[in-house]
Structures are given as C-alpha cells and as structure tokens.
Structure 1
C-alpha cells in the first residue's frame, strides 16, 4: 500500500528532489497527514502485516521503513518540513541531507504496488552482486542485483543515499542476468 500526497498543481516540479526525513517513533502516519495538509509532496511506503493479539489476528498497515518518510521538495521548502511536528531531521549523508534519486522512489513504489512478493528491509551493506532484471510477473523490467542473504538468493533494490536495501524473494526462473558494464 502506498500513500502519496496530492500534488499541488501550482507548484512547479522543477528542482524538486526526494529526501528522507527521520520521524519520532511510531509517528510516520501523523507526519504524512501533516505534510499532506501543508501541500508538501510526500511518500510513506506501507506494507500489510498480519499482527497477532491475544484474542485475534488482524491485518494492519505498517511503515516499510520505521521512522522514515520521504518528501519531494524544493530548497525553499527545506525548513518548512522541519517545522512539522514529529519530524526530527533529514537523513544526513556526507554532511548533507541525503537526496534520493527519482528512479529509486519509482522502483520502491513499483515493488510495493505488487502484492505477489513479500518485501523485507535490511540496513546491511551487501557486497554488490550480479545485476539482474525481472523478466516475468508485473515487476517485469525492474532491474536490481542478486544477493545471497542467509543462504537464500534475493533480488534487491538499493537506496544508497540512506544505506537501505529492499529484498524480494523472486524465483530464479523470473530473472535474467544483465551484461556487465565496462
């Protein structure tokens, strides 16, 4: 499940870039609502999980990356985001707010829009593996890399600027190896 803010048509999308912001614990949905109320383009990746209570089980939507929300803003909106209640800071990489490339956000949206695969998040930094492309399923054309995680082959999509990896269990027959780039 994906939650996106409505895009304010009066704002030019020129010079807008994606940033990751760190939120207070368990306030991601509140931050999303406040960002939307201020017409700030935002994205909160959510995933349905089956939660167990003493008396029942229930499907709930939980943030895929706890404590993170993504905003697409111009430089002039940088401070406006920090004024939102429960936004702690921007994710910093090399002393600057980490810029998330548009294509990585698009990949994440595509992966989450397909409920056929369970998405797992890892904050480990894997040694880059073979580059592969999905050739079947609704994710056809998505490129990533193959990694060996706990003895299992996984298809991974990286968000390098926040050192995060999204892993999918994709059967090998759905993948093709990409030629090496020199």
Structure 2
C-alpha cells in the first residue's frame, strides 16, 4: 500500500491548563519535534530565591510534524489543540524559515528578550533589518520602538501568534534590507 509523502510543517498549538511540559514529553516520546518558548524567572521556594525556566506564554507550543502524525497524537490527547486564525478559521501553520529564526532567538533563553502578543506591536511602522554581528548574526526582523524598552529593538514575529524583541543591539551591527 503506497502512502503519499506528507511534508512536515510547524503548527502553532495550545496545551490547555498549563500542560505544555506534559505535551512536550508526549510529543518527544512520539519522536515529533516541538518547541516551547521559555525564559528564566526568579521565584521563591522554601524562603529562597531560585531561578527556574518557565514557558513565556502558558499553553503555547509549536509542533513540527506531518498532518497525519499530529492528528494521531491529538486523538490520544484531549488537551492538545490547534491555534486557528480568528478571521479565516484555518489552523496556523508557520513557514520553516520563520520558525527557525524565532527558535534561534527565543531558544537562547536570554533574560533581555521581550515577548509580545501580535496586537501589541505595529510592525508596519518599523524598518526591515538584518543583524550583521554578535550573538544573533544573520537574523532578520523589524527594527522599532517597543513598549517597556528605552531604545528600539529588532523584533521577530510569528504571524498572529507571538513576537519576540531581542536585547538591545548596537546600530553598527544592523543593516537595512531594501
């Protein structure tokens, strides 16, 4: 029996009730790639301050798999849901290059990264740029002023899901893309 070759794509998904760690373990057991944007937070444990890695946005995770594989896992796990576009009702699928850029930045767990909901930023006001040096060399994004930061930052967005603003980058390390 021949099956047609499905291509793997990145899905934006939700694991309800803060169960993204459980979902990650399950997906990894099924040999599926997944990514949860994480950051360090200081919290109190038994009267001591401890630095722990927590999800940036609870319930959000990205899954890289074929549609049939995701469907199979979803049938076993009730709390795993697709995130859909509010206008079209379609599942949000992220292009590989966009996701790689996002993972390259968000996967550093840098304390100076700032995360935003898509409606919090107006990326059309910014300038499209490429970073030409430093930790984020080669990354492309939009250079603009973000809420809560003194200076302008380079922002990488996953359309309709999340945006991440990088740490302050020296202007000498930024080139404008035409």
Q: How much does 1:54 deviate?
A: 6.5
Q: How much does 1:116 deviate?
A: 5.2
Q: 1:11-52 CA distances to partner (integer Å, 9 max, x unpaired)?
A: x99511000111112211011011112222222222222223
Map of 2:170 onto structure 1: 172
Residues in 1 aligned to 2:137 and 2:21: alpha-carbon distance in whole angstroms: 30
Given the alignment, which residue of 15, 31, 37 partners 1:45? Answer: 37
Map of 1:81 onto structure 2: 73
Map of 1:142 onto structure 2: 139
Q: How much does 1:81 deviate?
A: 3.1
Stretches of structure 2 lacking an aligned partner (at least 5 in a row): none
Stretches of structure 1 lacking an aligned partner (at least 5 in a row): 1-11
Given the alignment, which residue of 14, 17, 21 partners 2:13? Answer: 21
Count of matched residue pairs: 168
Q: How much does 1:111 deviate?
A: 1.0
RMSD across aligned C-alpha pairs, in angstroms? 2.4
| Contact 1:137 1:174 (C-alpha < 8 Å) held by counterparts | no
| Contact 1:117 1:170 (C-alpha < 8 Å) held by counterparts | no
Map of 2:57 onto structure 1: 65
Cα gap change, 1:137 to 1:97, in 2 (>3 Å): same
- TM-score normalised to structure 2 length: 0.81
- TM-score normalised to structure 1 length: 0.80
| Contact 2:37 2:57 (C-alpha < 8 Å) held by counterparts | yes
Map of 2:122 onto structure 1: 126
Q: How much does 1:55 deviate?
A: 0.8
Q: Secondary structure at the match of 1:33?
A: helix
Q: Secondary structure at the match of 1:78?
A: helix
Residues in 1 aligned to 2:46 and 2:22: alpha-carbon distance in whole angstroms: 27
Cα gap change, 1:174 to 1:140, in 2 (>3 Å): farther
Residues in 2 aligned to 1:64 and 1:13: alpha-carbon distance in whole angstroms: 34
Map of 2:94 onto structure 1: 100
